[in-house]
């Protein structure tokens, strides 16, 4: 009798519970910016239709700022297959900038989910992150265009793509996350679905790939879609979705089109997407994605629906300049067959890159030592800047199809924020070098146009050219400097022979004339290169009447510095010269003779083949050239010999860290970044540097102890204007007694 009573009570409890359970299958929260700090939120849920669902005309949402409310259901639709979709909407205004987590928790999930133990007793929980940051701009969340309730077969590849569309064109990334339950906690006993090979999501395309389901049943999985702007996370949406796996002998239908397309903004993109089925089932072909959602000139399909044994439609998009963006557009193509007992869906993510056109009629004209660049008006009104580039030598490459921006090897000459500008003058260029110029248009999100045609020039060789400022290779120890220069090839008839030269030396900031005569080589024996901090030379040429014919560009010696740590010798060098430096050889003294140990193209080298408490000597030899014909090559220059000791008894004696007060980010390869002068870098445990303007707005921050600030805003990626900025730098380093802290703060001036 007691057993029957408990049975009746149990049946009554189950009936009462099932009557109130909403049987949630899937859900997500999205939002739209309304202006200021106001947003409209949409909660989308997918349920088993029942009496409890019918009564769920509102759901409780937490706004992430301490407030919460029940928001109303505004519409619903029966999708068939025992599933309805509901939309709940409400508006909320935040009091200030910040990061907010919006969440919804509702009882309960539907009964019998394989990988959620006792699923009917587990709440459905989803959350979305909103970042309000005026420096990044206001944000709209992604919209997930494909429904999150889907079907698959045991032993058959399952594919799904949410077809995420971001109205702001932000970059998206995808990753799996565990399904959540009460209070947003991990569900006890939850596991990802079992697979014969793998269960994963593509972090770039969003393709969810299950290869292959092993057991039939209903499964719930969750993934997060994160939005990134200028490399900073600006929001995210978590979707909890359901996959129903059954037994069947069906095979996935097939999709036929390319994976990637490129189109020039303002031109039409047209291609055919076709479907087929290996089981001769009929196939319904559909497509979704950002090109169909854009406000101006959205893409279309002809015909709008395609169904049959060999369905096909033409994708047509009349693109506009407004469609230019850094992130490629994604179109998700779905092919669903009418197989029985389960219809299967295949998906394919197609990317479309809308490219900004090149700047046309780009040309360069020489005026003495200056070059005037000019171009025609740019047609894209969305462009915010022109980027001008220069390189020595001219290869005149043509960009590949789909290639935008500039290739490596070019220096940024200038950023012009006035896109109405039609010209620019590059001043005081060196002779003897052929220069190639390019221009690229830049857009607010960092997108760049196709690069312009090359404009190549060579300055008239009417002045002497410095070719050598070198440690005397015959006697490296003495530190004497050999200087050499080349006579100009083009001399105006007005000048009277004989010609003479005067050589000026600038040693540690002090200038003096060290040679006058007709020779083109001079040994400066009155200077010790090993003791110099900076050493620069330039030469002037005069005719018989002492009329100045021309002056060379300055050329520095190869200035080598060497520092030792516990286990290595760190070498670095600078060489400010008008010729091109191609490579550098590094020499080390071994067994009383110098041996070449490396050849590098950069300006630093680390020698790890050292022993503690030993002293080593090094020098470097650089190789360079002018592009002008008739000048000797290679141009070989030697540094002074430098000595370094490895592994002092007190390692803290090796540590020093100082910051400059000015740098020149002009793309000339010298002093282009804000960086410290540091010895004992291996002693640094942690570092944090913040650069801000006089209004206190942060422009740059980094954990890199070498800082390497290039003068650009970290948020906008644009050049900061010339002027004074401020920094705070905190360094933690190892001393003999443990960790020590170094706090630096001051100003840094940008000179362009």
Options 1.10.3470, 1.20.1250, 1.20.58, 2.60.40; CATH for 652-750 is: 2.60.40
> If you search the block for the tokens 């919460």, which residue do you land on?
68
Tell me how crowded residue 574 is: count the other CB atoms within 10 A of its CB.
17
Find the range with the poorest average confidence among 1-5, 433-437, 487-491. Answer: 1-5
**Res 566 pLDDT > 90:** no
The 10s digit of each residue's pLDDT in 335-351 is 999 998 899 999 999 99
Under CATH, what is the fold of the domain 363-458?
Immunoglobulin-like (2.60.40)
Cis omega (within 30 of 0) on the bond before 62? no
For 119, phi then psi, to 5°, come to -60, -30
Options 3.40.50.280, 1.20.1530.20, 2.60.40.10, 3.30.1060.10; CATH for 254-355 is: 2.60.40.10
> If you search the block for the tokens 């003096």, which residue do you land on?
512
- Kindly calculate the radius of gyration of the chain based on its CA atoms and give it in whole angstroms: 34
Taking residues 726-738, report their average pLDDT: 83
State percent of the chain over pLDDT 90: 68
**Domain residue limits, the chain:** 21-242, 254-355, 363-458, 464-647, 652-750
Find the range with the poorest average confidence among 20-34, 56-70, 415-429, 621-635. Answer: 20-34
Tell me how crowded residue 249 is: count the other CB atoms within 10 A of its CB.
12
Judged by phi (left if over 0) then psi (alpha if -120 to 50, else beta), residue 476 lies in: alpha
SS (H, E, C) 313-343: EEEEEECCHHHCCCCCEEEEEEEEECCCCCC
State percent of the chain over pLDDT 70: 95
At residue 554, the pLDDT reads 84
Under CATH, what is the fold of the domain 464-647?
Immunoglobulin-like (2.60.40)
> If you search the block for the tokens 């959205």, which residue do you land on?
298
The two most distant CA atoms of the chain are separated, in Å, by: 131
Two tokens at 226? 């994160």
At residue 172, the pLDDT reads 95
DSSP code at position 36: T
Sign of CA dihedral 389, 391, 396, 399: negative
β partners of residue 524: 481
Residue 356 CA from chain centroid, whole number: 19
At residue 719, the pLDDT reads 82
Helix (H) and strand (E) counts in the chain: 3, 55
**Res 109 pLDDT > 70:** yes
If pLDDT is split at 50, 70 and 90, which confidence band does 241 have? very high
Fold agreement between 254-355 and 464-647:
yes
**What distance in Å separates the CA atoms of residue 109 and residue 86, rounded to the nearest whole number?**
15
Rounded to two decimals, the pTM is 0.72
For 652, phi then psi, to 5°, come to -70, -20
Taking residues 679-689, report their average pLDDT: 89
Nearest to 327 by CA among 130, 99, 142, 127: 142
Taking residues 529-550, report their average pLDDT: 91
Cα distances from 336 to residues 152, 214, 255, 339, in angstroms, run 11, 22, 10, 9
Name which residue leads in pLDDT, 28 or 574. 28
Q: Over the range 50-78, which residues count as b (16 or more CB within 10 Å of their CB) and which as e? A: bebbeebeebebbbbbeeeeebeeeebee
Taking residues 593-622, report their average pLDDT: 93
If pLDDT is split at 50, 70 and 90, which confidence band does 709 have? very high
Taking residues 275-283, report their average pLDDT: 96
At residue 4, the pLDDT reads 41
Name which residue leads in pLDDT, 405 or 668. 405
**What distance in Å separates the CA atoms of residue 620 and residue 477, rounded to the nearest whole number?**
13
The 10s digit of each residue's pLDDT in 405-459 is 999 888 888 889 999 999 999 987 877 788 999 999 999 888 999 999 999 998 8
The 10s digit of each residue's pLDDT in 131-180 is 998 888 899 999 999 999 989 999 999 999 999 999 999 999 999 999 99
At residue 694, the pLDDT reads 54
At residue 721, the pLDDT reads 76
**What distance in Å separates the CA atoms of residue 112 and residue 125, rounded to the nearest whole number?**
17
Taking residues 533-541, report their average pLDDT: 89
**What distance in Å separates the CA atoms of residue 224 and residue 236, rounded to the nearest whole number?**
7
β partners of residue 438: 389
Taking residues 106-114, report their average pLDDT: 91
At residue 630, the pLDDT reads 86
């Amino acid at each position: 009798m007691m057993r029957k009573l408990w049975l009746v009570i149990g049946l009554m409890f189950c009936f009462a519970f099932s009557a109130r359970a909403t049987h949630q299958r899937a859900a997500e929260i999205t939002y739209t910016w309304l202006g200021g700090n106001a947003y409209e939120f949409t909660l989308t849920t997918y349920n088993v239709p029942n009496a409890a669902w019918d009564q769920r005309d509102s759901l409780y949402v937490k706004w992430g700022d301490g407030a919460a409310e029940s928001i109303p259901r505004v519409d619903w639709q029966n999708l068939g297959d025992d599933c309805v979709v509901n939309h709940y909407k409400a508006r909320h205004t935040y009091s200030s900038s910040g990061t907010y987590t919006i969440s919804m928790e509702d009882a309960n999930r539907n009964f019998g989910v394989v990988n959620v133990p006792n699923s009917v007793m587990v709440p459905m929980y989803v959350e979305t992150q909103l970042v309000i940051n005026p420096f990044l701009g206001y944000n709209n969340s992604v919209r997930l265009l494909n429904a999150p309730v889907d079907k698959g077969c045991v032993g058959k590849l399952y594919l799904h793509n949410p077809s995420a569309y971001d109205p702001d064109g932000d970059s998206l990334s995808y990753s799996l996350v565990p399904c959540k339950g009460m209070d947003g906690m991990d569900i006890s006993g939850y596991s990802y679905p079992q697979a014969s090979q793998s269960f994963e999501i593509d972090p770039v395309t969003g393709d969810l790939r299950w290869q292959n389901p092993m057991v039939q049943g209903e499964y719930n999985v969750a993934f997060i879609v994160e939005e990134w702007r200028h490399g900073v996370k600006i929001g995210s949406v978590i979707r909890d979705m359901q996959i129903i796996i059954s037994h069947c002998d069906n095979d996935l239908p097939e999709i036929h089109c390319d994976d990637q397309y490129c189109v020039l903004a303002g031109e039409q993109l047209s291609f055919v997407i076709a479907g087929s089925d290996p089981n001769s089932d009929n196939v319904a072909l559909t497509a979704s994605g950002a090109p169909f959602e854009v406000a101006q000139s959205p893409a279309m399909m002809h015909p709008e629906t395609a169904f049959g044994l060999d369905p096909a439609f033409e994708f047509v998009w009349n693109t506009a300049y407004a469609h230019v963006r850094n992130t490629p557009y994604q179109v998700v193509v779905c092919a669903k067959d009418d197989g029985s007992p389960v219809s299967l869906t295949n998906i394919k993510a197609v990317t479309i890159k809308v490219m900004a056109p090149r700047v046309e009629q780009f040309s360069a004209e020489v005026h003495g030592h200056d070059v005037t660049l000019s171009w025609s008006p740019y047609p894209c009104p969305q462009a915010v800047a022109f980027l001008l580039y220069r390189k020595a030598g001219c290869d005149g490459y043509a960009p590949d199809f789909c290639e935008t921006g500039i290739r490596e090897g070019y220096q940024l000459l200038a950023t012009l924020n006035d896109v109405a500008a039609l010209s620019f003058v590059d001043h005081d260029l060196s002779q003897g070098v052929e220069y190639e110029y390019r221009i690229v248009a830049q857009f607010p999100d960092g997108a760049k146009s196709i690069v312009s045609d090359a404009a190549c020039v060579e300055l008239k060789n009417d002045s002497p050219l410095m070719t050598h400022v070198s440690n005397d290779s015959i006697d490296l120890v003495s530190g004497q400097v050999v200087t050499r220069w080349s006579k100009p090839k083009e001399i105006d008839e007005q000048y009277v022979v004989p010609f003479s030269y005067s050589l000026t030396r600038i040693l540690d900031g002090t200038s003096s004339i060290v040679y006058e005569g007709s020779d083109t080589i001079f040994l400066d024996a009155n200077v010790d290169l090993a003791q110099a901090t900076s050493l620069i030379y330039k030469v002037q040429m005069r005719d018989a009447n002492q009329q100045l014919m021309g002056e060379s560009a300055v050329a520095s010696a190869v200035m080598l510095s060497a520092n030792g740590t516990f286990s290595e010798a760190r070498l670095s060098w600078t060489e400010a010269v008008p010729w091109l430096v191609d490579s550098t050889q590094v020499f080390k003294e071994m067994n009383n003779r110098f041996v070449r140990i490396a050849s590098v193209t950069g300006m630093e080298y680390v020698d790890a083949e050292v022993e503690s408490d030993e002293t080593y000597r090094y020098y470097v030899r650089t190789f360079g050239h002018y592009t002008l014909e008739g000048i000797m090559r290679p141009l070989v220059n030697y540094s002074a010999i430098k000595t370094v000791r490895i592994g002092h008894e007190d390692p803290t004696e090796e540590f020093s860290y100082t910051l400059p007060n000015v740098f020149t980010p002009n793309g000339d390869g010298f002093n282009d970044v804000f960086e410290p002068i540091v010895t004992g870098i291996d002693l640094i445990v942690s570092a944090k540097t913040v650069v801000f303007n006089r209004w206190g707005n942060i422009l740059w921050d980094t954990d890199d102890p070498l800082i390497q600030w290039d003068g650009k805003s970290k948020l906008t990626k644009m050049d900061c204007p010339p002027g004074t900025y401020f920094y705070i730098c905190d360094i933690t380093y190892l001393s003999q007694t443990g960790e020590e802290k170094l706090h630096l703060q001051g100003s840094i001036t940008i000179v362009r």
